[in-house]
Structure 1
Amino acid sequence: MERHQVPLYVGALAVGGLLGWAAPGVGPGLEHAINPVLAALLFVTFLQVPAAELVRSMKAGRFLAATLVVNFVVVPLVVAAMFAFLPDDQAVRVGVLLVLLAPCIDYVIVFSGLAGGSSERLLAATPLLLIAQMILLPGYLFLFMGSELADVVEIGPFVEAFVILIVIPLALAWLTQAWAARRPAGQKAADAAGTAMVPLMCATLLAVVASQVPKLGNGNSLSDVATVLPFYVAFLVVMAFAGLAVARLFRLGARDGRAIVFTGATRNSLVVLPLALALPDKLAVAAVVVVTQTLVEVIGMVIYVRAVPRLIPLTD
């Protein structure tokens, strides 16, 4: 399953889309299943995020600096350039901001590795990336939305989703890591949980897409979501060259440079999805906008795996 995870993810997305279109009545039931499945997936994902590696990641100074610059300086500037051209719908704008401003911490490592990037350095940097985005995301949202943010986001459900679906799974994952470091039973438990990563990802993608597709029955919603597709494609194209520029600015080698391109281009859609689902009903389209980015990104990453080695050859 690890070797074939990309086609499995694409298959889960396709099955979810067909199910949501052919049997829209299953949408509400599957929406109730999203949080439990997503919480389990995030626990397993965070289990792969080595808390103990945070100190080691600090020693790769230039790579870490490039990672932070591409994600928290360059990406917000690219999003700012796009923001004025986004549809006026607040739900669409919030969805785009949520997903594009949060760097990926999970399958970016897989895709970077497939392209010959320094996936081990990305893995070491993931704790810092996760902490940084959770701290900076509210500030970025306020910068882009201003006073509108208070009008469209109810803080209570937002905080509840963040605590239940992000803070608690993260804390449990790091406690499990500590247990695994001290006891063989803990290591066995962590290894067993790790084998569930791909099935849980497939289940989450299927449930999310199947539950959100029926919401596109409203013509306006479908048209708004279709409108953001070019922005997601443009983001992937721009970030390939922006990541290359950052890698050259920090004088990184080819493998590190490839990893920088991938971390700048991939976004944290599944981790921010709970926050989108916690928005008021009038902003329900935001979750669909987040999921749409996942669809575009998975296809984009298949292209990246072939294109990035040509963009940054090992002979550089």
Structure 2
Amino acid sequence: MKVQDKSSTDAKATNSDLEKQEQDPPCPPCAETAQARLSAFSALGFINRFLALWIFLAMLVGILLGNFVDDVEPALQKGKFVNVSVPIAIGLLVMMYPILCKVQYEKLHVVFKSREIWVQMGFSIIINWIVAPLVMAWADCSQLGLAWAFLPDKQGLREGLILVGIARCIAMVLIWNNLAGGNGDYCAILVAINSLLQIVLFAPISLLFIRVFNPHSHSAIDISYSTVATSVGVFLGIPLGAAILTRLVLLRLLGPDRYKSYFLRFAAPWSLIGLLFTILVLFASQGKQVVDQIVSVVRVAAPLIVYFALIFFLTLLVARRMGFRYGYAVTQSFTAASNNFELAIAVAVAAYGPQSDQALAATVGPLIEVPVLLGLVYGVKWFAKRRNWKE
């Protein structure tokens, strides 16, 4: 009897597993991920594990250089590329390229055969391109946006925050999602989609909120559609196009295994190097301004903290209520909550100048985002474990 019962139980378990495989769509093959879902943090290397520390140190070194080294600021501003200093431009391009090389563009057609992916994509577009920008930037008569609520008297800082709120994250979100055990393949899909959407949507949406929904603006002439569109096209379009071309060519020459084990292993650290270099140069260029305007930095930090937490938990709550699995819900939440501060910085510097309040507000973005999003990683993993929320 015991043997029969055990056999019957095993048969039921096997049938249940087969039914589950038939019901659940396969994970979309759009990015290489190797870490286990809920043990990603321990699997990270030493550099990525202390990412917040490296960014803070880069900021600190930049501020010290800007305040105690003579002529460092003018030296860093020599030479312009699309109205951005050459060192910053190089850092931005180097930072974007390796991340985008990980996306499996050649298999996107397989992904879009899944109905669940279309539902997830629709939800993500609504949250990222309608809800999140409105939460940060909506003004009208009520001025409900966080940028207006916290900075009604600081137009320049407010406009910098609006640029941050509109820029959808395409790089750092892969790190947060990996740490929290989200769906890495689906996250890579959103990176590719948001990269393409930002090329098309960032310029008109930013102009809409800064010029049309900004009734008290006195510097609307400083920002134009051509300036924003050019910055987006250069600092996002160039690395995206280069990444697609690199992947398609090298996959043919090297094959998938060698592409991953050789090329991606070599290219991956350059993303972090580009990020730290860009932050160091930005803070070196604005070191005196950051120290002189420490109150402004604190005022910018407050709405950013509220924004990251509010958007994250709002998205997570709605996704859970809609019955999304843990991996998808976490990916949606981190994609919505994190922002492409690299692009916001590039546009702010190109449109307003490196010494502007807009550039200062955009530069404060990574200082606040890194510790807040890292805290949300621990928070969502604790919540999932407590509620037994599994994939």
Which TM-score applies when normalising by structure 2?
A: 0.72
Distance 2:56 2:297 in 1: 19
Q: Which of these residues, 63, 69, 84, is aligned with residue 148 of structure 2?
A: 84
Superposed counterparts of 1:23-34, under 5 Å: 23=69, 25-31=71-77, 32=85, 33-34=87-88
Distance 1:195 1:229 in 2: 28
**Residues 163 and 135 of structure 1: CA distance in aligned 2, closer, same or farther (over 3 Å):** closer
Residue 315 in structure 1 maps to residue 372 in structure 2: no
Alignment correspondent of 2:254: 184
CA radius of gyration, larger in: 2
Which one scores higher on RCO, CA 8 angstroms, separation ≥ 6? 1
Corresponding residue SS for 1:196: helix
Of the structure 1 ranges 204-213 and 262-271, higher mean CA displacement relative to structure 2 is found in: 204-213
Distance 1:99 1:78 in 2: 12
Superposed counterparts of 1:104-253, under 5 Å: 104-147=169-212, 150-184=220-254, 187=259, 188-189=262-263, 191-216=265-290, 219=292, 221-253=293-325
How many Å apart are 1:288 and its aligned residue?
1.5
Alignment correspondent of 1:4: 47
Distance 1:284 1:56 in 2: 45
**Residues 56 and 203 of structure 1: CA distance in aligned 2, closer, same or farther (over 3 Å):** farther
Alignment correspondent of 1:17: 63
Which TM-score applies when normalising by structure 1?
A: 0.87
Superposed counterparts of 1:94-113, under 5 Å: 94-113=159-178
How many Å apart are 1:230 and its aligned residue?
0.8
CA contact (8 A) 1:54 1:127 kept: no
How many Å apart are 1:278 and its aligned residue?
0.4
Distance 1:281 1:196 in 2: 26
**Residues 83 and 8 of structure 1: CA distance in aligned 2, closer, same or farther (over 3 Å):** closer
Alignment correspondent of 2:99: 45
How many Å apart are 1:249 and its aligned residue?
4.2
Distance 1:136 1:156 in 2: 13
Segments of 4+ moved more than 6 angstroms? none
**Residues 115 and 150 of structure 1: CA distance in aligned 2, closer, same or farther (over 3 Å):** same
Which string of whole-angstrom CA distances, capped at 9 and with x for unpartnered residues, describes residues 224-277 of structure 1?
333221100111221222111231243201222122221111100013322111
Paired amino acid for 2:101:
L
CA contact (8 A) 1:53 1:125 kept: no
Paired amino acid for 2:61:
V
Alignment correspondent of 2:90: 36
Of the structure 1 ranges 194-203 and 175-184, higher mean CA displacement relative to structure 2 is found in: 194-203
Corresponding residue SS for 1:105: coil
CA contact (8 A) 2:199 2:229 kept: no
Corresponding residue SS for 2:123: helix
Of the structure 1 ranges 179-188 and 163-172, higher mean CA displacement relative to structure 2 is found in: 179-188
Unaligned runs of 5+ in 1: none
Superposition RMSD on alpha carbons, in Å?
A: 2.7
How many Å apart are 1:56 and its aligned residue?
4.3
Residue 61 in structure 1 maps to residue 115 in structure 2: no
Unaligned runs of 5+ in 2: 1-43, 78-84, 139-144
How many Å apart are 1:302 and its aligned residue?
2.0
How many Å apart are 1:294 and its aligned residue?
0.9
Corresponding residue SS for 2:286: helix
Of the structure 1 ranges 155-164 and 168-177, higher mean CA displacement relative to structure 2 is found in: 155-164
Paired amino acid for 1:78:
V
Distance 1:100 1:245 in 2: 20
Distance 1:134 1:246 in 2: 28
CA contact (8 A) 1:98 1:272 kept: yes
Of the structure 1 ranges 301-310 and 45-54, higher mean CA displacement relative to structure 2 is found in: 45-54
Alignment correspondent of 2:346: 274
Alignment correspondent of 2:131: 74
CA contact (8 A) 2:180 2:378 kept: yes
Distance 1:197 1:4 in 2: 12
**Residues 52 and 17 of structure 1: CA distance in aligned 2, closer, same or farther (over 3 Å):** farther
CA contact (8 A) 2:100 2:239 kept: yes
